[in-house]
């Protein structure tokens, strides 16, 4: 069994097959409200 990773930008629209959306960045993207972002987890410690 293998797991795939798909890279997208935080501003990309949500698609049905996206799965879990993770933001890996130290700072929140400028111009993107947290309430509007389709992000399941924000891993700023990993960036």
What tokens does 15 get?
């698609």
Residue 47, in any domain of the structure: yes
pLDDT at position 7 is: 93
Residue 29, in any domain of the structure: yes
pTM: 0.80
How many domains would you assign to the chain? 1
pLDDT at position 1 is: 62
Supply the range of the domain harboring residue 25. 18-47
Q: Tell me the per-residue pLDDT of 1-47, one tens digit each, with 9 for 90 and over.
A: 667 888 999 999 999 988 999 999 999 999 999 988 999 999 999 99
What pairing do the DSSP bridges indicate for beta strands 41-42 and 22-23?
A: parallel
The CA distance from 9 to 18, in Å, is 12
């Amino acid at each position: 069994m293998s797991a795939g990773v798909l890279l997208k930008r935080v501003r990309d629209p949500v698609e049905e097959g996206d799965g879990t959306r993770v933001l890996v960045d130290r700072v929140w993207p400028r111009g993107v409200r947290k309430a509007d972002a389709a992000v399941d987890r924000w891993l700023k410690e990993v960036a």
